[in-house]
Amino acid sequence: MFSPRFFTTIKHYDQKNFFSDHTAGVIAGIVALTFGLLMAVFLFVRRVSETTDIEVLSSQVEDERSHISDDEETLGIPDGVEVFQIKGPFFFGIANKFKEAEKQSGQKPKIRIIRMRRVPFIDSTGLKNLKNFIRRSRNQSIIVLISGLQAKPREALEKEGIIKMLGNENVCSNIELALERAIQLLEKALTPR
């Protein structure tokens, strides 16, 4: 099993080699652990990016009860209104999806509704992307409304100043109220002064 040479090697093993070999082993372990963590982060971001979806709707949108029952009702979206429906966490992994969705939208709308009822959380990069999206829309004279905010994302938007930027009247608790607000704004824009 062990040759006599093995025992003579152990007997003559000095401390210098012992520490250098163990140091190399510790460094190799650290490198392997770091690689493993980086792979885990990469796979996590990829997985969340795959599960998060952004749709641009311009004719119909499902009502608030559609996820509760099988009786899915659709609500008509008025002309000049576009709904960006976000499903899943809104963070750095989906920044490109948001820009792609913006590019796929058809004609320039007068109003954009960002529907966030299925967004459980938003990180600082998501907040930055949202703020930039609102600024780009405003630069094009497009009014932005937000609907269906959950507690945590609402808190984050308040801290970032996004709700103040939009105005409380343009942050609606559900899509029905957001569509009503959009109709009011469209009628106001059509009314001669």
- C-alpha triplet 12, 15, 20: angle, nearest 5°: 115
Q: What H or E segment, with its residue span, contains residue 87?
A: strand 81-87
Q: What H or E segment, with its residue span, contains residue 53?
A: strand 53-57
Residues 6+ apart with CB under 8 A from 142: 108, 109, 110, 111, 112
> Is residue 81 within 8 Å of 110, Cβ to Cβ?
yes
12-40 pLDDT, tens digit per residue, is 555 556 556 667 777 888 888 888 888 88
For the record, the structure tokens of 172 come out as 């609606």
The superfamily CATH assigns to domain 52-190 is STAS domain (3.30.750.24)
pTM for the predicted model, two decimal places: 0.70
86-140 pLDDT, tens digit per residue, is 888 887 666 667 677 777 766 788 999 999 998 998 988 889 988 988 998 899 9
